């Protein structure tokens, strides 16, 4: 009996999904804009526009500066967490997952609450107002999101180094500097490098922070594309600018993929287990200080949102659910919550399903690792605005207009969560020895049965972690949802932005707090499972 190509059945739906919902729509959008705008001449014209050039410059500057800032603080923090053992270490590692689970608007609200015109810190110390608006505010928001990520990725790199090699260097007379250069430094650089690139990708295409904290003078390409399509009704120009954005992101995305693959290929060995913090040396204090700064930033932002929400409302939660507000927004807060939960749960389901399919394919076809990874990480290249823009242009006419907006929101959230959910799942699956599945196959189980019966139960924690991560990402997703949503399909993040636009700050603070609480539930789920975000 001859068999077909094993794994092809599992790979086909993944290819189909990525092509139909992540690859084809932007490609067709770009091709159409390219031909309608006169090809290269049209593109030159778009790039010659001073506002577009400013957006490109802002993307590069904000991306680069954010990367530098977060690596400067996040790298020592990551070394501290990856290398030393101390009580509370696991709690800090879990806490560092929080920003990634927080909606961007909540972080922006937190930064404004701390450093805005009436901020907790900027009122007593006016000099800190620079951190509540303009480029300073944007950098702070980006740092809040990405600082813990760089620290986590650096810690993973440090943990993957081999302690036996370090001991061998020590007994042969090599000092700490040599051990750093030859053993644990290089993997930590890989982790920090991956974190820096991820920071660049996120920050250069940030949407909420430039929009709210600074305004048009700080618009990134993402915000400018949104403006061109949604406000100035120039979709072809927006598409050509989006094409430039994809080209800009291609190289950092490729390098990030390379680095994160290296990181995943290394098995963590837990060097931190038995090494105490070197309090007698200045480096110990410096590393602990960087960690404390990161912890303080995360805690302060989350705390500011919580405190503002708890202090502000004289109306309790009633204002948020009042008929007057429903009339102004066109949707009730409870209906928006329903939308939020539906999209987040649906997106998590889709992302985990494809992550699982990919995991199964890689178990029986390890040699396909690179192409499958490339396929699933392709959405990283496509920012939320570009994805939603192209989905709307390509699929909305085919699917029948406004009534299918929900489907486009669901698909965009799922596609954006796909790389992160997959990565989280793969890290768990890689730790399950292949021989369990092989053993089941030798007992007569079909490959998929062997995978579901014997391998997946052992990666249950990673599965839960991936699902919660995808759910939390959907929960906080603002950019793509805002681009696509009509009032009927408004989510809480979109409602929050609209409340801020309407200057209903009391209701906005309450909603931000509710979003924070929802994210906290996801965080608790991760914490109970003893998991960390894997990127």
Partner 1 sequence: MSASELLRIRDLSSAWAGVPVLRHVSLEVAEGEFLALMGPNGSGKTTLLRLIAGLDEPTGGSVELRGRDLVGVPAHRRGIGMLFQDAQLFPERSVWENVAYGPQIQRRPAAEVESLVTEMLELLRLRSLADRRPEELSGGERQRAALARTLAPGPSVVLLDEPFASVDAELRREMRAEFRRVLSARRTAAIFVTHDRDEGLFLGDRVAVLLDGELRQTGSPADVFEHPIDERVARFLGYNIVPAPAGPMAVDPSELTLARSGEPGVSAAVVARGWSPQGTGLLVRAADGSVWEVVLPKDEVGPPVGSTVQIRWQRGVPLATSLDRDRPHME
* CB-CB contact of 319 with 325 (8 Å): yes
The residue whose two tokens read 């596609």 is 415
447, 474, 476, 525: residue in contact with partner 1 (rule CB under 8 A): 447
Angle formed by the axes of helices 505-528 and 460-476, to 10°?
170
- Which residue from 351, 226, 309 is spatially nearest to 508, judged by alpha carbons? 309
- Is 450 near partner 1 (CB under 8 A)? yes
Stretch that binds partner 1, among 64-72, 183-191, 406-414, 445-453 (CB under 8 A): 445-453
- Is 366 near partner 1 (CB under 8 A)? no
Stretch that binds partner 1, among 31-39, 61-69, 113-121, 435-443 (CB under 8 A): 435-443
3-42: which residues touch partner 1 (CB under 8 A)?
A: 3, 6
Shortest Å, Cβ 1 to partner 1: 5
Stretch that binds partner 1, among 207-215, 386-394, 437-445, 483-491 (CB under 8 A): 437-445
Stretch that binds partner 1, among 142-150, 222-230, 449-457, 468-476 (CB under 8 A): 449-457
3-state SS string over 121-172? CCCCCHHHHHHCCHHHHHHHHHHHHHHHHHHHHHHHHHHCCCHHHHHHHHHC
Give 53 or 431: the residue with its C-beta nearer to partner 1: 431
Please report, for residues 18, 265, 405, the alpha-carbon distance to residue 427 in angstroms, rounded to integers and kept in the order given.
21, 9, 34
341, 353, 438, 461: residue in contact with partner 1 (rule CB under 8 A): 438
Please report, for residues 175, 266, 267, 359, the alpha-carbon distance to residue 459 in angstroms, rounded to integers and kept in the order given.
39, 18, 16, 11
- Is 436 near partner 1 (CB under 8 A)? yes
Shortest Å, Cβ 367 to partner 1: 11
Give 262 or 441: the residue with its C-beta nearer to partner 1: 441
Give 13 or 457: the residue with its C-beta nearer to partner 1: 457
271, 340, 454, 519: residue in contact with partner 1 (rule CB under 8 A): 454
Give 4 or 173: the residue with its C-beta nearer to partner 1: 4
The DSSP secondary-structure symbol of 478 reads -
394-433: which residues touch partner 1 (CB under 8 A)?
A: 433
Shortest Å, Cβ 285 to partner 1: 42
Integer Cα distance of 448 and 304 in angstroms:
48
Please report, for residues 216, 334, 351, 497, the alpha-carbon distance to residue 343 in angstroms, rounded to integers and kept in the order given.
30, 14, 12, 18
446, 501, 521, 528: residue in contact with partner 1 (rule CB under 8 A): 446
Shortest Å, Cβ 267 to partner 1: 17
Give 2 or 503: the residue with its C-beta nearer to partner 1: 2
Integer Cα distance of 76 and 282 in angstroms:
13
Number of residues lying near partner 1 (CB under 8 A): 23
Task: List all residues 6 or more positions away from 359 whose beta carbon is below 8 Å from its beta carbon.
Answer: 422, 425, 426, 429, 451, 459
* Neighbour tally for 270: CB within 10 Å: 12
- Is 370 near partner 1 (CB under 8 A)? no
Give 316 or 444: the residue with its C-beta nearer to partner 1: 444
175, 282, 323, 444: residue in contact with partner 1 (rule CB under 8 A): 444
Tokens of 220: 């990134």
- Which residue from 520, 44, 58 is spatially nearest to 309, judged by alpha carbons? 520
Give 89 or 441: the residue with its C-beta nearer to partner 1: 441
* CB-CB contact of 197 with 154 (8 Å): no
- Is 449 near partner 1 (CB under 8 A)? yes
- Is 440 near partner 1 (CB under 8 A)? yes
Give 321 or 436: the residue with its C-beta nearer to partner 1: 436
* CB-CB contact of 77 with 291 (8 Å): yes
Stretch that binds partner 1, among 226-234, 305-313, 335-343, 438-446 (CB under 8 A): 438-446
The DSSP secondary-structure symbol of 39 reads T
Shortest Å, Cβ 11 to partner 1: 17
Q: Please give the helix or strand (H or E) that residue 349 lies within, else none.
A: helix 333-364
Could you please report the per-residue DSSP string of 373-442? HHHHHGGGGS-HHHHHHHHHHHHHHHHTGGGGHHHHHHHHHHHHHHHHHHHHHHHHHHTS-HHHHHHHHH
Binding mask 457-496 for partner 1 (x = CB under 8 A): xx--------------------------------------
89, 430, 441, 488: residue in contact with partner 1 (rule CB under 8 A): 441
Encode burial over 377-411: b for 16+ CB neighbours within 10 A, e otherwise: bbbbbbbbbbbbbbbbbbbbeeeeeeeebbbbbbb
Shortest Å, Cβ 437 to partner 1: 10
Give 5 or 311: the residue with its C-beta nearer to partner 1: 5
35, 435, 486, 501: residue in contact with partner 1 (rule CB under 8 A): 435
Give 49 or 438: the residue with its C-beta nearer to partner 1: 438
Task: List all residues 6 or more positions away from 127 whose beta carbon is below 8 Å from its beta carbon.
Answer: none
Give 283 or 443: the residue with its C-beta nearer to partner 1: 443
8, 72, 232, 442: residue in contact with partner 1 (rule CB under 8 A): 442
Angle formed by the axes of helices 8-18 and 369-377, to 10°?
30
Q: Region of 173 please: left (phi>0), alpha (psi -120 to 50) or beta.
A: left
- Which residue from 484, 497, 409 is spatially nearest to 211, judged by alpha carbons? 497
- Is 267 near partner 1 (CB under 8 A)? no
By CB under 8 A, name the binding residues for partner 1. 1-3, 6, 433, 435-436, 438-447, 449-450, 453-454, 457-458
């Amino acid at each position: 009996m001859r068999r077909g190509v094993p794994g092809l059945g599992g790979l086909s739906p993944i290819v189909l999904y990525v092509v139909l919902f992540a690859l084809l729509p932007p490609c067709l959008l770009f091709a159409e804009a390219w031909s309608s705008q006169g090809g290269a001449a049209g593109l030159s014209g778009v790039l010659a526009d001073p506002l577009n050039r400013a957006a490109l410059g802002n993307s590069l500057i904000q991306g680069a500066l954010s990367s530098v800032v977060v690596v400067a603080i996040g790298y020592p923090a990551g070394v501290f967490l990856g290398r030393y053992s101390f009580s509370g270490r696991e709690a800090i590692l879990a806490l560092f997952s929080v920003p990634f689970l927080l909606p961007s608007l909540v972080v922006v609200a937190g930064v404004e609450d701390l450093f805005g015109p009436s901020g907790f810190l900027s009122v007593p110390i006016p000099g800190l107002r620079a951190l509540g608006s303009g480029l300073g505010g944007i950098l702070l928001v980006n740092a809040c999101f990405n600082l813990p990520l760089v620290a986590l990725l650096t810690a993973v790199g440090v943990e993957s180094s081999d302690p036996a090699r370090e001991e061998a260097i020590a007994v042969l007379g090599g000092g700490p500097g040599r051990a750093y250069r030859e053993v644990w430094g290089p993997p930590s650089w890989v982790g920090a490098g991956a974190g820096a690139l991820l920071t660049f990708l996120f920050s250069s295409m940030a949407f909420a922070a430039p929009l709210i904290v600074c305004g048009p003078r700080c618009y990134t390409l993402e915000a400018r594309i949104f403006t061109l399509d949604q406000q100035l009704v120039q979709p072809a120009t927006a598409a050509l600018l989006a094409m430039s954005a994809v080209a800009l992101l291609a190289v950092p995305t490729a390098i990030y993929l390379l680095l994160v693959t290296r990181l995943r290929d290394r098995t963590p060995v837990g060097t931190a287990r038995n090494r105490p913090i070197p309090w007698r040396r200045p480096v110990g204090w410096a590393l602990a200080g960087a960690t404390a700064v990161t912890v303080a930033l995360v805690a302060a932002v989350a705390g500011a949102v919580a405190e503002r929400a708890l202090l502000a409302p004289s109306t309790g939660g009633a204002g948020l659910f009042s008929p007057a507000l429903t009339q102004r927004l066109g949707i009730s807060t409870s209906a928006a919550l329903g939308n939020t939960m539906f999209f987040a749960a649906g997106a998590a389901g889709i992302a985990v399903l494809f992550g699982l399919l990919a995991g199964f394919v890689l178990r029986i076809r390890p040699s396909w690792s690179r192409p499958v990874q490339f396929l699933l990480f392709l959405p990283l290249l496509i920012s939320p605005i570009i994805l939603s823009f192209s989905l709307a242009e390509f699929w909305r006419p085919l699917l029948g207009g406004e009534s299918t907006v929900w489907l486009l929101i669901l698909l965009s959230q799922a596609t954006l969560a796909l790389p992160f959910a997959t990565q989280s799942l793969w890290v768990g699956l890689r730790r399950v020895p292949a021989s369990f599945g092989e053993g089941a196959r030798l007992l007569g189980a079909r490959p998929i049965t062997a995978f579901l019966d014997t391998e997946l139960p052992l990666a249950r924690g990673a599965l839960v972690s991936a699902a919660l991560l995808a759910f939390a990402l959907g929960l906080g997703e603002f950019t793509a949802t805002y681009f696509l949503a009509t009032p009927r399909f408004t989510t809480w993040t979109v409602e929050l932005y609209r409340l801020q636009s309407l200057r209903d700050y009391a209701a906005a603070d309450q909603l931000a707090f509710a979003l924070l609480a929802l994210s906290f539930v996801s965080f608790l789920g991760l914490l109970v499972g003893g998991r960390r975000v894997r990127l």
